[in-house]
Structure 1
Amino acid sequence: MHTTVGIIGGGPAGLLLARLLHLAGVDSVVLESRSRTYVEERQRAGILEQATVDALRAAGAGARMDREGLVHDGIELRFDGRSHRVDFPALAGGRSVMVYAQTEVVKDLVALQLAEGGPLLFEAEVHRVEGAETDRPTLHYTHEGRAQTLSCDYVVGCDGFHGVARDAVPEGLRQTYERTYPYSWLGILADAPPCYDELIYAHSERGFALASMRSPTVSRLYLQVPNGADAADWPDERIWDELDLRLGRPMNRGPVTAKSVLPMRSSVTEPMRHGRVLLAGDAAHIVPPTGAKGLNLAAADVVVLARAFTRLRETGSTELLDGYSDTCLRRVWRAEHFSYFMTTTLHTDPGQSAFETRLQESQLDRISRSRHAAAELAENYVGLPI
């Protein structure tokens, strides 16, 4: 079997790319190692930047999002016993964000791909990529118990940091920049209506907390915990009590339906292309979740890729493909910096001094008093144009 673009990974990045290519008349095949059920239930991000929302609408995948998603025009910062709201539309040219879970984005894109697009194979594990430097790279994979191959004009790796696509870039030709943070997040999903209209980011002496949501009846909540923490050591009542203390208000309590600990790190791999293999999403970069950038960076990558493949099909020019890595890395590093800023400003390092805490509070105070400082946060949070 042969295709123009072989896509490794059927998460939001791979599925959105396949959809955009289909609309542009470019054929593709998506190979996803997990089952459809697993992919559609995998809990990840929930905040969509304006550009991601626009991309989903342009792909014909925005109807349910527009019905069920929650538009958010700001966030609330809580620190030093007070609160400050950051007004996105007023500070960022009318732009906002949408609360719509990654699980729902994936369901919408899977349905479209199966109904209208090219092949989408679940439980198709890619073992290796051969011929990255040739004009016919090949994917070796197993599907339904049989070893198979897929030859491609180009391969796009949307299979994450531990996927095989990164291995197609020789170690001597790639550079990975990383930072590991000295704390993690304990995240829960709860069948409890949010007691707030917008996200609350709380800096406290007890550690960071975030109050988010998935719907008007489901809360998504996070607590900063030490690295190595075990979710089993956090019974539900302890979590609710700690959230009340850090957020400075009582939460609406309800059954906790999911609980997990999320380590936090930053990572960028350069370049994002080697020969005819291109990396997108977590295969090329990882951000701590504080800035809500992971899914949105992945979406931006594939929008850039879709434009490049469309240009190639229409004109034969590889100019946009040749510039893909440099184009995306500019946006990636901006998002990495913003995520680092949000993370280090709002969390309490285990070895942090009182002096450093006062510096954090000063930075948050600056945002609350300066329109310029608030606008910088707002513009980065809602996302840069693609």
Structure 2
Amino acid sequence: MAGTVKTQVCIVGSGPSGLLLSQMLANAGIDSVLLDRQDRSYIEGRIRAGVLEQGTVAALEEAGAADRLHREGLPHDGFELAFDGDRHRIDIKALTGKSVMVYGQTEVTKDLFNKREAAGQVFYFNVDNVKPTDLKSSTPSVHFTHEGEQQVIECDYIAGCDGFHGASRQAIPKDVLQTFERVYPFGWLGIMVDKPPVSHELIYANHERGFALASMRSETRSRYYVQCDVNDDLASWSDDRFWEELAIRLGPDAAANLETGASFEKSIAPLRSFVAEPMRYGNMFLAGDAAHIVPPTGAKGLNLAVADVRLLSRALIAHYRNANDHYIDTYSETVLKRVWKVERFSWQLSTMMHQFPENTGFEKRMQRASFDDIQSSETASRAIAENYVGLPLE
């Protein structure tokens, strides 16, 4: 039996960007329905980045979902870049007047789910065969299968927050959609461990054996990464091998404070830069990973998605409150200008801090020169800091 539900905005994807959008719309009295291919426990359990820009914190505050973040999050005023043992601290607070917050994306997702559930948000989980249709009409719809039955959501607008592999971007005709991509020739092997972090701030390290990152989720839980071959067998990376490699790449000063232990999560993630244009087609909008991917260097993925949602919610609220479609009409152009700036920063930092198999001696010297420039120039350090804390929305 087919079922039809009517709403103002159908949000495809119940990750943090979809959840945040639904909350910001609800705060303005705008109705939405959320659907996702996965179930809530799977979505909440996904291990992702944990560095939040000030703009992301402000958005969660505006949504009314920042109480636990302020209780448990760790404010950071800087981070370190290391290159062959030389270390340089970027004092983001002194250089920009701003800071970032370390608080796991998993926790952001839980907070938003709790907020939306308490407000009676309509969810459809474990859906299949999602198909946005009639996108150029004033009454687009989303067709899908739920619990063996065909369902239809009729709406005014569709928000595609369904990630890189979702159906939303694929619904844009191929002669309209342009994609731009850089796939990196390595991956990140990441682990989680219930041990205090090696440093109270993040360390991004370039070593001749490869990149390493020392991060954290709390004062007692650490998140570490090392660059590896994306096709590596995870079973070949024992905890002992990982700790040995991490210590070498971070250098003896940092390694002296490294507390090792049994990991409780371990995975290898590929790295890519990706942008889809346009981010609006008819009455469907793309946001977050559905439209763009950044390598995790610089922790921009979630923050970029939140910036999209802030601009998209502004556009939809202006439409419903004031019949003002200026922000809807300029959404794609406005968002993409910012997206490409963030892509550039993530690409720049990734290019400088990783070992590329195709690099000659020249490229390696350029990497070192880039680090030396940042180390010796307050202007160069400030440029890194401004990008790290988050660029203005427009």
Q: Same fold (TM over 0.5)?
A: yes
Q: Distance in 1 between matches of 2:162 and 2:199?
A: 35
The corresponding residue for 2:381 is 374
1:150 alignment partner, SS class = strand
- CA pair 277-209 structure 1, distance change in 2 beyond 3 A: same
* 1:300 counterpart = 2:307: yes
Q: 8 Å contact 1:184–1:224 — kept in the other structure?
A: yes
* 1:327 counterpart = 2:337: no
* 1:199 counterpart = 2:202: yes
Q: 8 Å contact 1:291–1:339 — kept in the other structure?
A: yes
The corresponding residue for 2:21 is 17
Q: 8 Å contact 2:205–2:353 — kept in the other structure?
A: yes
The corresponding residue for 1:260 is 267
The corresponding residue for 1:109 is 112
1:236 alignment partner, one of 231, 235, 239: 239
Q: How does 1:346-357 map to 2 (within 5 A)?
A: 346-357=353-364
Q: Distance in 2 between matches of 1:17 and 1:53?
A: 14
The corresponding residue for 2:167 is 164
2:296 alignment partner, one of 274, 289, 302: 289
- CA pair 117-312 structure 1, distance change in 2 beyond 3 A: farther
Q: Distance in 1 between matches of 2:362 and 2:54?
A: 37
The corresponding residue for 1:187 is 190
The corresponding residue for 1:63 is 67
* 2:286 aligned partner, one-letter code: L
* 2:46 aligned partner, one-letter code: R
2:318 alignment partner, one of 311, 318, 333: 311
Q: Distance in 2 between matches of 1:365 and 1:252?
A: 30
The corresponding residue for 1:6 is 10
2:264 alignment partner, SS class = strand
Q: Distance in 2 between matches of 1:262 and 1:83?
A: 26
The corresponding residue for 1:224 is 227
The corresponding residue for 2:79 is 75
The corresponding residue for 1:127 is 130
Q: TM-score, normalization: structure 2?
A: 0.96
Q: 8 Å contact 2:51–2:103 — kept in the other structure?
A: yes
Query: What's the CA shift for 1:294?
Result: 0.6
2:207 alignment partner, SS class = coil
Q: Distance in 1 between matches of 2:80 and 2:273?
A: 24
Q: 8 Å contact 1:113–1:120 — kept in the other structure?
A: no
* 1:27 aligned partner, one-letter code: D
1:26 alignment partner, one of 30, 38, 52: 30
Q: Distance in 2 between matches of 1:126 and 1:116?
A: 28
Q: Distance in 1 between matches of 2:166 and 2:259?
A: 39
Moved more, 14-23 or 248-257: 248-257
Q: 8 Å contact 1:18–1:117 — kept in the other structure?
A: no
Structure 2: tracts of 5 or more residues without a match: none
Q: Distance in 2 between matches of 1:303 and 1:310?
A: 11
Q: How does 1:18-57 map to 2 (within 5 A)?
A: 18-57=22-61
Query: What's the CA shift for 1:243?
Result: 0.5
Query: What's the CA shift for 1:75?
Result: 0.6
Structure 1: tracts of 5 or more residues without a match: none
Q: Distance in 2 between matches of 1:230 and 1:344?
A: 25
The one-character-per-residue Cα deviations of 1:16-71 (angstroms, maximum 9, x if unpaired) are 00000000111111111211110111111111111001100111000000000111
Q: Distance in 1 between matches of 2:77 and 2:234?
A: 32
Q: Distance in 1 between matches of 2:11 and 2:182?
A: 28
The corresponding residue for 1:141 is 144
Query: What's the CA shift for 1:117?
Result: 4.8
Query: What's the CA shift for 1:227?
Result: 2.8
The corresponding residue for 1:100 is 103
Q: Distance in 2 between matches of 1:220 and 1:71?
A: 16
Moved more, 143-152 or 48-57: 143-152
Percent identity over the alignment is 52
Q: Distance in 1 between matches of 2:339 and 2:121?
A: 29
Q: TM-score, normalization: structure 1?
A: 0.98
Aligned residues: 385
Q: 8 Å contact 2:77–2:99 — kept in the other structure?
A: yes
Q: Distance in 1 between matches of 2:225 and 2:129?
A: 34
* 2:169 aligned partner, one-letter code: R
Q: Distance in 2 between matches of 1:35 and 1:80?
A: 44
Runs of 4+ aligned structure 1 residues displaced above 6 Å come to none
Q: Distance in 2 between matches of 1:127 and 1:79?
A: 46
- CA pair 108-337 structure 1, distance change in 2 beyond 3 A: same
Q: Distance in 2 between matches of 1:270 and 1:2?
A: 29
Q: Distance in 2 between matches of 1:240 and 1:354?
A: 29
2:297 alignment partner, SS class = helix
Q: Distance in 1 between matches of 2:123 and 2:391?
A: 31
Query: What's the CA shift for 1:152?
Result: 0.7
Q: Distance in 2 between matches of 1:309 and 1:257?
A: 41
* 1:98 aligned partner, one-letter code: M
* 2:241 aligned partner, one-letter code: R
Q: 8 Å contact 2:85–2:250 — kept in the other structure?
A: no
Q: Distance in 1 between matches of 2:234 and 2:29?
A: 47
Q: 8 Å contact 1:22–1:117 — kept in the other structure?
A: no
The corresponding residue for 1:341 is 348
